[in-house]
């Protein structure tokens, strides 16, 4: 079951908080958010080869005075742990991560399950503050505060998007 308009709510929250630079290794779920950003001439979206490459680009953008977000699937979180820890956390370079959560209850692809089960523990082990909104209302209640925290503390934060918000792999 999807929560109608979740993808626009996320795009709007990012833009409302002056985030205009985006790196992504897109998946079906994240592409629904990206659709709104690609259409916005004030947004710059770069598709990177790997998620850690996206973190590097966004870190450079931050050092140039720009705010950025990395949009990815939770399997990409595993790819970028070292960069997240040794660059963003160690050097206090904020970035907002928007992560689609595959591998949870109802997952049809067994290969997605291990990282799906580990995603929250990885964020916790790296001491990354994250929220897992289950409705658009929960997202709206937490979005601005979490993004503000990233830039107040100069640290990465994450939105982990569960299936009951996005509808999972086959939502529209």
The answer to whether residue 171 scores a pLDDT higher than 50 is no
Q: 98 and 63 in contact (C-beta within 8 Å)?
A: no
Domain ranges of the chain: 6-102+112-170
**pLDDT over 70, % of the chain:** 97
Q: What is the mean pLDDT of residues 40-52?
A: 97
The answer to whether residue 106 scores a pLDDT higher than 80 is no
The domain defined by 6-102+112-170 folds into Rossmann fold (3.40.50)
The answer to whether residue 3 scores a pLDDT higher than 80 is no
User: Pairing mode, if any, of strands 157-161 and 129-131?
Assistant: parallel
């Amino acid at each position: 079951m999807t929560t109608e308009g979740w993808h626009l709510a996320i795009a709007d929250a990012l833009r409302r908080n002056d985030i205009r630079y985006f790196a992504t290794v897109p998946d079906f779920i994240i592409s629904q958010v990206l659709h709104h950003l690609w259409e916005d001439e004030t947004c710059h979206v770069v598709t990177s080869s790997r998620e850690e490459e996206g973190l590097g680009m966004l870190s450079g953008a931050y050092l140039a005075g720009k705010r950025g977000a990395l949009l990815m699937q939770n399997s990409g979180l595993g790819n970028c742990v070292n960069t997240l820890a040794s660059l963003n956390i160690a050097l206090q370079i904020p970035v907002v991560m928007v992560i689609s959560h595959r591998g949870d209850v109802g997952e049809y692809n067994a290969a997605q399950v291990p990282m799906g089960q580990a995603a929250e523990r990885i964020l916790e082990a790296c001491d990354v503050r994250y929220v897992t909104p289950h409705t658009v209302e929960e997202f709206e209640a937490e979005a601005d505060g979490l993004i503000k925290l990233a830039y107040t503390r100069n640290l990465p934060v994450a939105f982990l998007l569960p299936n009951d918000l996005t509808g999972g792999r086959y939502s529209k």
